[in-house]
Structure 1
Amino acid sequence: MRESSSGLLKLLVNEVALGHGYACGESAGEFVLTGRGSRRIVLPFTRLERRVARAPRQLWSTLVRDRLEMQIADLAAGHLDTSRLASVRPLLRTRLCSARTKGLINDVRRLVAPGLLQRVLIDFGDIMTPVTYSNAQGWGATESDLFDIAEHNTRAASRLDLTAADIDGMDDVDIQMLYGATDFVTAHVRWLDDYPVVGPWGALLVIPGHTHLLIHPITGPTVFAGTSLLAQLLVAGEAESRPVSRAIYWWRNRITVDIAATIRGTGDWMEVVPADHLESLLEIMRRD
C-alpha cells in the first residue's frame, strides 16, 4: 500500500483511538491501542488494508471508523465477554512476532526460535486483544492449554496458498511462497511440513511480514545460494514493510527452528553471515 494510503489509515485509527481514551502506536505490522487500564487493542495493518482495498478513498473513513467505533465501544461496555474461557475459546488465535516487540511483559507468549515469539490473541473480527497471564489465571487455564486451543483454531481456519517465486536468473534455486488472506500467516511456521516445502534437511525461511513466508527447501548444496537469495528478497521488501524478523531461519521440525544466518547492512551493502551449524550441514550434504 502506498505511503499516502498508509498515512490515511493511521490518521483514521488514531482519531478513533483518541476518541476512546487510547494512545495509538505502531509495532511490526500492527496498530496498538493502549491507555485504558491494562487492556491493549491490536489492529493488523493487513486487516484494515483488506477492508478498504476496493473502496474509493472517500469511503475509507466510514469503513474504518464505524467498524472500529462499534467494536471498541462493545469491548469497553463489556458486550464482548472475556471473563470466561468458554466465551473466548472459539476466538483464540495465534501468530508470531519479534521478540523485540514492546509491551509483551504480561502477554501469554513463548519462544519458538531465536528472536521469534508466539503469542495468543482474542480475535473479535475487526480488533484483537492479547491474552495475558492474568486472563489465563482468571480462566483457570494453563499456557499450554491456551496455545493448544489457539493453534487448533488458527490451523483449522485457513490453509495457506503456495506458489513458486519467479526470480530472473535463479531458476536452479527453489524459492516457494506461502500466503493467504489471513492475519495469521506467520503461525504456519509451526506447521511448515503441512506443505510441500520441506526437503530432506528441512527448509530455510524468512518472514517478510504478516502476509507471506518465503521458503527454500533444503535438498542439496543450493542451500547457500538459497540463503543469499532469501536475504536479498527480505531486504528488498523492507522498502514496503518492516519484516517480522531480519534473520534467516532453518526449519528442522515443529520443535526445532534455528537461526541459519544473520543479515548485516541494507541496500547496496549487505552481508549474509551463515551460522556455524549451516556450514556443517553443507559439509554433511557434500559427503552424502
Structure 2
Amino acid sequence: MSWFRRKRESARRPVEHVDLDSLLALVAESLGYTFAFARDGSSMSLKAAPGTSPEGAAELAVRLTGLRREAGRRAREDWPMLVSEHLAHAVAGSGDPVDACDLDQARPLMRTRVESVDEVPDLTRVVGRHLNADLVELLTVGSRAVRPEEAGCWPVATVQALDLAVDNVRREERLGVERIELSGTPVTRLTGASPSAATHLRWLDDYLAVPADGALVALPDPYTLLLHPVDGIGVVRAIERLRVHAARTGGLSSQVYWWHEERLRLIKSDIVTQSGQTRLVVAPPPEFAKVLARLAV
C-alpha cells in the first residue's frame, strides 16, 4: 500500500515540482550521491554512495524552497544549469558552518558591496539592485555574493534582505576620513576595511558637509570613495581631477558620479587625445548641466 500512497502524493504535487525533482535526482546521482526528499519537498538529503566516502559520513541536507521559487521564475531550459549549480554549491560548501539559506545564521554576516555591471558574469545569478546603469549593489554573506535560490529560502523579500545588510554595514563600520589633494584640487577620501564603502553614500552627511547641490563621487575601488562638494564652478576642475585619477587606478569605475537626492548619477566623461593634446569631454546629465549653468553665473 505504501507504493500506492506515494503515487497519490506525487499526483497531488504540481507537475513543475515533480519535473524539478527528477532533475535533482539525476544530478544527485551523477555527483555520486543517494538521495531522499522530505515529504513536503522543502529539502532533500544527500549521502555519498557506498565506497565513495568514509564510513559513517554524515548526510547533507539541501534546502529546496528557494530553488523552487527561482525555477518558477526561469525558463525550463535554464533548470538543468540551475539544479546543477545548486547541488554543486551545496556539496562544495558542506563544511561551511554557516547555512546561507538560514536567515538566522546569515543575518549577522549580511553585507553589501558595489561592483561594475561589466564585472558580474551573470546578474541573474546574484541578488542585488542597480545604483545606476553601470554599478550594482550586491548582497553578500561573508565574502561571497548571495544567490537567488538562497535568498528565496528567507521569509523576507529581497529588498528587505538588502536593507538588513545595509543596516549591518552602518552598525559595524565607520569609514576613515582624510583630506587630500589631486593636482591642487582638495577632495575628501573615505576608506573602509570592507568592500562596502559605496554603501556609506546613504549617510554622507555623517562624514562631511554636503551642500544642497550634492557631491561629486569617484569610486576607485570598493574600499574607497573620493568626494568633492558641488558648491561652486570649481567643480568643473574637480570632475577632471577625479576622472583622471579614477582612470589611472583602473579599479571599480573610471567614471565620476553625482550624488544628489539619494541618487548616484553618471557624469559621463571621456579622455580624448588629439593632435598630441589631451582633453576631457564631459556629457553631464541634464539636471547636473542646469546646476553647472547656475553656478557659472
TM-score using structure 1 length: 0.65
Q: What's the offset of the Cα at 1:157?
A: 0.9
RMSD: 2.7
Query: How do 1:264-275 residues align onto structure 2 when only pairs under 5 Å count?
Result: 264=271, 269=278, 271-275=280-284
- Relative to structure 1, is the Cα distance of residues 261 and 78 closer, same or farther in structure 2, using a 3 angstrom cutoff? closer
- Partner of residue 159 from structure 2, selected from 120, 144, 161: 144
**Structure 1 match to 2:234:** 222
Letter of the aligned partner of 1:275 in structure 2? P
Q: Partner residue of 2:289?
A: 279
Task: Report the Cα offset of residue 187 of structure 1.
Answer: 2.0
The 5 A counterparts of 1:35-114 are 37-38=85-86, 75-100=93-118, 101-114=120-133
* Distance (Å, rounded) in 1 between the aligned partners of 2:104 and 2:149: 16
Identity %: 25
Aligned counterparts of 2:156 and 2:279: Cα–Cα separation in 1 = 45
Q: State the alpha-carbon separation in 2 of the partners of residues 245 and 182 from structure 1.
A: 17
What is aligned with 1:253?
261
SS in 2 for 1:175: strand
Query: In 2, distance between residues paired with 1:231 and 1:40?
Result: 42
CA 1:222/1:89 → structure 2, altered by over 3 Å: closer, same or farther?
A: same
Deviation at 1:265, TM superposition (A): 5.3
Task: Please give the alpha-carbon distance, in whole angstroms, between the structure 1 residues aligned to 2:208 and 2:197.
Answer: 16
More off after superposition, 216-225 vs 76-85: 76-85
Within-5 A mapping of 1:199-210: 199-210=211-222
Q: Which amino acid aligns with 1:136?
A: A
Contact 2:266 2:285 in 1 (8 A): no
Task: Write out per-residue CA displacement over residues 212-238 of structure 1, whole angstroms, 9 at most, x where no aligned residue.
Answer: 111111111111011011111112223
Indicate the larger mover: 86-95 or 228-237. 228-237
**Aligned-residue offset at 1:129:** 2.5
Q: Determine which structure has more spread, i.e. the larger CA radius of gyration.
A: 2
Tell me the SS of whatever aligns to 1:166: strand
> Measured at CA, do residues 82 and 252 of structure 1 come closer, stay the same or move farther in structure 2, by a change above 3 Å?
same
Is the aligned partner of 1:184 residue 2:196?
A: yes
SS in 2 for 1:112: strand
Distance in 2 of aligned mates of 1:114 and 1:40 = 32
Report deviation, 1:83: 2.9
Structure 1 residue 190, shift from structure 2 partner? 3.2
SS at match of 1:76: coil
Structure 2 length normalisation: TM-score? 0.63
* CA offset digits 1:98-121 (Å, max 9, x no partner): 111213312111111231111100
Contact 1:98 1:117 in 2 (8 A): yes
Query: Distance between the aligned counterparts of 1:40 and 1:231, measured in 2?
Result: 42
- 1:39 Cα deviation after fit: 8.1
> 1:156-195 CA distances to partner (integer Å, 9 max, x unpaired)?
1111011111344x2xx33111112223223223332321
Q: Distance in 1 between matches of 2:198 and 2:233?
A: 27
Q: Secondary structure at the match of 2:253?
A: coil
Deviates more, 1:92-101 or 1:159-168: 159-168
Could you tell me which amino acid in structure 2 is paired with residue 258 of structure 1?
A: R
Aligned partners of 2:114 and 2:136 also within 8 Å: yes
| Amino acid across the alignment from 2:180 | A
Query: Is this contact kept in 1: 2:114–2:195, CA < 8 A?
Result: no
Structure 1 residues not aligned, in runs of 5+: 1-35, 42-71
**Matched residue type, 1:145:** Q
Provide the C-alpha distance between the structure 2 equivalents of 1:195 and 1:160, rounded to a whole number of angstroms. Answer: 8
Shift of the 176–110 alpha-carbon distance from structure 1 to 2, 3 Å rule, reads: same
The one-letter code matched in structure 2 to 1:115 is D
What's the CA shift string for 1:108-162, capped at 9, x where partnerless?
1111123111110001xxxx22112212221122111111110000111111011
Provide, for residues 50-109 of structure 1, a one-character-per-residue CA deviation record: whole Å limited to 9, x for no partner: xxxxxxxxxxxxxxxxxxxxxx99933353222311111111000111111213312111
- Distance, in Å, in 2 between the alignment partners of 1:264 and 1:39 is 47
